Amino acid sequence: MDLINKHDDPISFLASAIDAMIKGKLKLKQRGVANTRELVALWNKVKKKKIKLKEINQYITEGKNVHLTHAADLSFEGKERIAEAIAFLEALTEMLRGSSSSKLNLTRKWDGAPAIICGTDPENGKFFVGTKSVFNKENPKINYTKADIDKNHSGGLAEKLKEALQYLPKLRIKGILQGDFLFGKGDVSKKKMDGEPYLVFTPNTITYGAQEKSDLANKINRVKIGIIFHTKYTGKAMSKLKASFNVSSSDFGSSSAVWAQDAGYKDTAGKATFTEAEYKKMEKLLAKAKSAAKGAAAGSNMLKGNPKVSEQINIYTNSRVREGDYSFSAKEFTNFVNDKLEKKLSSLKTEKGRARGRLAQKKMVSFLKAKSKDIDRVFAANSTIQECVVFLVKKLQEVQSLRTFIKTSTGYRVTGDEGFVASDEIGSAVKLVDRLEFSKINFTAAKNWVKG
Confidence of residue 62 (pLDDT cuts 50, 70, 90): very low
- Domain-located, residue 193: yes
Is pLDDT at 24 greater than 60 in this prediction?
Answer: no
What's the distance, CA 431 to chain centroid? 3
- Domain-located, residue 84: no
- Domain-located, residue 93: no
More confident: 117 or 23: 117
- Residue 344, CB half-sphere, CA atoms under 13 Å: how many? 14
Q: How far apart are CA 300 and CA 293, in angstroms?
A: 9
**Total domains present in the chain:** 1
- Domain-located, residue 178: yes
* pLDDT for the residue numbered 101: 60
- Domain-located, residue 188: yes
Phi, psi torsion values for 113, nearest 5 degrees: -165, 140
The answer to whether the CB of 4 falls within 8 A of the CB of 40 is: no
* pLDDT for the residue numbered 448: 57
- Among residues 80, 96, 82, 24, which one has the least CA distance to residue 383? 82
Phi, psi torsion values for 226, nearest 5 degrees: -130, 140
- Domain-located, residue 166: yes
Query: What average pLDDT does the structure give for the chain?
Result: 86
DSSP letters of 160-173?
HHHHHHHHGGGG--
- Domain-located, residue 389: no
More confident: 41 or 452: 41
Note down the domain range covering 180: 111-262
Is pLDDT at 272 greater than 80 in this prediction?
Answer: no
For the whole model, what pTM was predicted? 0.74
DSSP tag of 9: S
Q: How far apart are CA 245 and CA 424, in angstroms?
A: 9
Averaged pLDDT for residues 24-43: 58
Percent of the residues in the chain that have a pLDDT greater than 70, as a whole number: 82
- Beta strands at 127-130 and 176-183: parallel, antiparallel or unpaired: unpaired
* pLDDT for the residue numbered 197: 95
* pLDDT for the residue numbered 128: 98
Percent of the residues in the chain that have a pLDDT greater than 90, as a whole number: 64
Q: How far apart are CA 22 and CA 128, in angstroms?
A: 45
On the 0-12 / 13-18 / 19+ scale of CB atoms within 10 A, 295 is middle
Is pLDDT at 56 greater than 90 in this prediction?
Answer: no
What's the pLDDT tens digit per position in 162-188?
A: 999 999 999 999 999 999 999 999 999
- Domain-located, residue 87: no
What's the pLDDT tens digit per position in 433-449?
A: 999 887 666 665 555 55
Is pLDDT at 292 greater than 60 in this prediction?
Answer: yes
The answer to whether the CB of 437 falls within 8 A of the CB of 115 is: no
